[in-house]
Amino acid sequence: MSDAKLEITDEDIRFFEVALQEAKKCENVETAFNVGCVIVDALTNKVLTTGYSREIEGNTHAEENALNKLHGSRPRIKLYTTMIPCTKRLSGNKTCAERIVEYGNVETVYFGTPEPENFVVNDTCVGFLEKHEIRVVQIVGFQNDSLEANRHLLKKG
């Protein structure tokens, strides 16, 4: 990851646990991942917004929904997501990684698990975000928790 020395704080874990709760709000769709996301102001460490997969009608992703709720000013943010942001979408929609870069003021993306290999080949999210000077950090120890909302897919693979 881009900053292996970045220390994960208790507050980071607390924000990540909110993302896990958001993932539990997802509708269990047989062909889609259930992901939760939290966006935090990097200066004040206050939650600005949350999102989860398919919160808004259509094939919407957690990061997409959370970013769409940010209106007006563009504070420097940290983004916590249960699964690494997508870099490929079969629907042809803009990827979450592209949306994060377009936001233009993302300091760090924290994630719980990479997308399982049987669903994505050669995921390039880390390199893509790092190329745009966004730190990417895995919250180690939460991979199983991050996948829990997706058991309906994983038992098929």
User: Cβ distance 16 to 142 under 8 Å?
Assistant: yes
Give me 113's structure tokens. Answer: 């698990």
CA–CA distance, 31 with 50 (Å, rounded to integer): 23
User: Any catalytic annotation for residue 98?
Assistant: no
CA–CA distance, 74 with 81 (Å, rounded to integer): 19
Count of H helices and E strands in the chain?
6, 5
Count CA atoms closer than 13 A to 93's CA, side-chain side: 12
CA–CA distance, 35 with 48 (Å, rounded to integer): 18
Give me 17's structure tokens. Answer: 């646990």
Specify the pairing of strand 106-113 against strand 77-83.
parallel
Question: Among residues 11, 22, 27, 63, which one is catalytic?
Answer: 63
Question: Catalytic positions, please?
Answer: 63
